[in-house]
Amino acid sequence: MNINSDILCQPDKSKSCGACCGLYNYVNSSRSSLIERLRARTKRFHKIVKDKSDIEYYASETIAGEDLKKRYEVIYCCEYLGFLDNAERKVGCLLHPAQNFGLDLRDVSFYGQELCAGHLCPSHHFIPKSQSQILIKIIDDWFLYGLCITDIDMVKTYFSLLSDKIGEEIKPEVFDNEALKKIACQYFDWKITWPFRSPDTNRLGKYYFDGSQYMISYIDYEKHGRDVSKFNTIFLSLSSVFKNAREIEEAENLIMSNISNFIYTYERGF
């Protein structure tokens, strides 16, 4: 297994990912809620923290002022995660030396400086570099990027389906074609907009959580008189819940249409 040498959490100036810091682990992890949370932290940090002795007060004020209810109790939600830029395009560590004139303050965090600096999430190990480079190339929204780059099944299954149809690996430069980029973005946008997404707050991707326990979700196809869908892995990644066989068919048609549209556009352009 090769390790992706790209740092996926801070790939460029237009977005980043804070999933390992617990960004999506709040019961309310909607975009609007996270923006409000991160914005308040960032403002508070820059107002309060003038040197290391101020950090404890910042932390106590942050913890006291936030709704800390979590999906999954085992994952720590770091209070030092905030916005790194005025445009609020990048999330990241407010204690990082790049944010503090070279001074590394991460030793006061829950995980400590060494673990924070050295940790690589599973996506570095399991998503091929070419595929992660595609996501970096086509997604410029921190909220969506973090949800997608950490969903290994969603990423690998999609590109595998496309490659099988085309007969070759899809390279990142393919997405210089705006039409192909738009089609792929439609697929990854479903991480947020999927019409069959479960509304339950204890669901994230294929997982559902119960306190300190987590389980992989299950779609009961037999109940709807159906065989397991060939898109089951994608359906789980999108936190799908179906009321009947017709909805399953509609969901399959959405994915098949996206793939067919990509293949048609690819073959015309290449």
Closest among 75, 102, 82 to 16, alpha carbons compared: 82
Give dist(CA 145, CA 157) in Å, integer: 17
Extract the runs of DSSP E, i.e. beta strands, from the chain.
81-83, 91-93, 203-204, 207-210, 213-216
- Would you kindly state where each structural domain of the chain is located, as residue ranges? 19-119, 127-269
Question: How far, in Å, are 22, 95, 104, 111, 156 from residue 114 at the CA level?
Answer: 18, 13, 11, 8, 30
Question: How far, in Å, are 20, 44, 81, 147, 212 from residue 76 at the CA level?
Answer: 9, 20, 12, 17, 12
Full-model pTM: 0.94
Per-residue pLDDT reduced to its tens digit, 93-119: 999 999 998 989 999 998 888 888 888
The pLDDT value recorded for residue 117 is: 84
| Residue 12 DSSP symbol | S
* Angle subtended by helix axes 178-193 and 129-138, to nearest 10: 90
220 contacts: CB under 8 Å, gap ≥ 6: none
Tokens 């980029």 identify what position? 181
pLDDT values of the chain reduced to their tens digit, one per residue, 270 residues: 455 557 899 999 999 999 999 999 999 999 999 999 999 999 999 999 999 999 999 999 999 999 999 999 999 999 999 999 999 999 999 999 999 989 899 999 988 888 888 889 999 999 999 999 999 999 999 999 999 999 999 999 999 999 999 999 999 999 999 999 999 999 999 999 999 999 998 999 999 888 888 899 999 999 999 999 999 999 999 999 999 999 999 999 999 999 999 999 999 987
The pLDDT value recorded for residue 243 is: 98
Cα 14 to chain center, whole Å? Answer: 15
For 196, counting Cβ atoms within 10 Å of its Cβ (0-12 exposed, 13-18 middle, 19+ buried), the class is middle
∠ CA 26-147-218, rounded to 5°: 80
Proportion of the chain above pLDDT 90, given as a percent: 88
The number of C-alpha atoms within 13 Å of 195 and in the hemisphere containing its C-beta is 11
Q: Are 28 and 201 in contact (CB under 8 A)?
A: yes
The pLDDT value recorded for residue 2 is: 54
The pLDDT value recorded for residue 71 is: 93
